Structure 1
Amino acid sequence: MVNRYKIADKVVEVTSIHAEVHKYCADYQTDENVDYSVTTTQADIDFEREKSAREDEVEGIPVRHFSDSYLEELAVYRKIAEKMLDFDTVLFHGSVVAVDGVGYLFTAKSGTGKSTHTRLWREYFGERAVMVNDDKPLLHIADSGVVAYGTPYNGKHRLGTNTSVPLKAICILTRSAENHIEPITREQAYTMLLQQVYRPADMLKMAKTLALVDRLADSVKLYRLGCNMDISAAKIAYEGMKWRDLKM
């Protein structure tokens, strides 16, 4: 099956084995001219299955068994992520929420509560808040700043919007009994940024990724938030970052 999708302002023509890939991306379908193409094969699906099994073994959990169609969805996004490097765009593991049209990205180790925290933002700000992408947004890094894009690949709860927003800040979440936020340096943030960006196996693509992470760290404000699950965490995080913006 073949269809075109506009993702992060680029049109990709996707040729797949299974129809589910195209159902997953339906909200992004377009008939505009193609910028690049990706094609998946059974070998790509098999690679995703082997990779998932290795990760399960490392984490010490029973090996999960996924359908070929689901694994093909992963293979498609992997190919998109690697091609988007040509357009100064990276895939980043985090949750992006926008308030009044400005984006904030929250990232952390798995299980820390990224999705829970951005849910608190939506509850606190109501209609002012828009969920851009709850799992794997694409970030375009330009001289004028960073733009965060919604994509079809927005997490198990499918929380996201086909939209784009200027990204104001990246905030690293940690668990804490009391809510508090502080700015951090690029050196303090860099390890987490590198862990959370998609890292291709190809050495040349990885070199490009590292260069883009450097630019990302210099292009947005960086924070660390210690938070609990009380809705006041959203207020403290937003005001802490907004206050910092006004002071600078």
Structure 2
Amino acid sequence: MTKYCISDLIIEIAAPEWVLHDNFKFFSCKNGNPDVYCKVKFEKRPGKPAAGVKIIAKTPGTLIFEYEKHIHNLSGDEHDIPCYTTASMDWSSYTMFIDPEYNNPNDDAIVQTVKEGIFVSLREAVIGRLAQKNGLIIHSSTILWQGRAIMFSAPSGTGKSTHAHLWQQLYNTPILDGDAAACRIIDGSPIVYGLPWCGTSGEFINQSAPLGAIVFLQQSKENSIVRLDFRESVLRLAARCFLLPWSNELMNQYLDTVQEITAETECFLLNCLPDFEAVELVKKCLQIT
């Protein structure tokens, strides 16, 4: 079994070494009781649930239901990886089922497919467990500047990675994570963590820092920046989080954490061009706060 420390959660995984994504090795640890215990099983998934189980969500491709104090996620396709998962109600245990035909460490294509499938699925387990620990994952490109994490958040394609790289060029700021970062309330303060999940950017480091500010980006023909009030900050941050929206309980936990983060954090809206002037506008605001 292998242990990883991700956003100060100890993740223990019972799985063959060959199924684990290379990004995880940067988060390896040896000590600590697991916050999440994960298992990978190369077994045929069980059939559809018996009548009378509590259906949580149903789509043409997915069936999510509650049974014996576990959340069951049954994919519509047995060839999905994983095709079936179960999680305890507090997300402290998580099991992934994969069709036995994929248990082939000698086929490079299968190995890569299995690694990617498990990699994505484990993020769901971390999202669920973070919700129990006053945390969430924010879609953002995050830099480290003067000992603080500055998050640039926006829909894909808006330019958050470009803006982070402009900071890197001007001020040699490390990029904590190019696509997503975890944020947890620790002793009343938001702390940001780099994650192994970094999208196509390939940029992440296993570090953490206090949250300094969240800057929401919008493309514009000219640069301008405004400080957001609490209500607008909550609405914008909630829209940029990775959620499991089929659970009312989890949604309430997410929204509580969003409000705690924004209550403790300066949030800005940056209408911007992809240029150094936009960097200087943000820098000036950060120096004032």
Amino acid at match of 1:76: L
Structure with the larger RCO, 1 or 2 (CA within 8 Å, 6+ apart)? 1
How many Å separate the matches in 2 of 1:3 and 1:47?
30
Q: State the Cα deviation string for residues 117-157 of structure 1 (Å, max 9, x = none).
A: 0000101102xx11111111110123531110011112212
Does residue 190 of structure 1 match 2:189? no
Which residue does the alignment assign to 1:204?
Answer: 249
How many Å separate the matches in 2 of 1:182 and 1:189?
11
Does residue 225 of structure 1 match 2:270? yes
Q: State the Cα deviation string for residues 190-224 of structure 1 (Å, max 9, x = none).
A: 22211111222222222111111111121111100
Correspondence for 2:154 among 101, 108, 119: 108
Deviation at 1:8, TM superposition (A): 1.3
Amino acid at match of 2:9: K
Does residue 91 of structure 1 match 2:137? yes
Larger helix proportion of the pair: 1
Give structure 2 stretches of 5+ with no counterpart. Answer: 46-72, 82-111
- TM-score (structure 1 length as normaliser): 0.83
How many Å separate the matches in 2 of 1:47 and 1:218?
41
CA contact (8 A) 2:21 2:115 kept: no
Correspondence for 2:213 among 140, 144, 169: 169
Q: What SS does structure 2 have at the residue aligned with 1:67? A: helix
Which residue does the alignment assign to 2:12?
Answer: 13
How many Å separate the matches in 1 of 2:207 and 2:149?
11
Q: What SS does structure 2 have at the residue aligned with 1:152? A: coil
Change (3 A) 1:234 1:111: same
Paired residues for 1:1-248 under 5 Å: 2-16=1-15, 19-36=18-35, 37-40=37-40, 46=75, 67-126=113-172, 129-200=173-244, 201-243=246-288, 245=289
Change (3 A) 1:160 1:215: same
Deviation at 1:87, TM superposition (A): 1.6
Change (3 A) 1:235 1:45: farther
| Identical amino acids, percent of aligned pairs | 20
Change (3 A) 1:232 1:35: same
How many Å separate the matches in 1 of 2:76 and 2:281?
43
Amino acid at match of 1:11: I
Amino acid at match of 1:199: L
Amino acid at match of 2:271: G
Larger Rg: 2
How many Å separate the matches in 2 of 1:71 and 1:90?
21
Aligned residues: 227
Q: State the Cα deviation string for residues 10-44 of structure 1 (Å, max 9, x = none).
A: 21102346724242200110101233212345767
Give structure 1 stretches of 5+ with no counterpart. Answer: 51-65
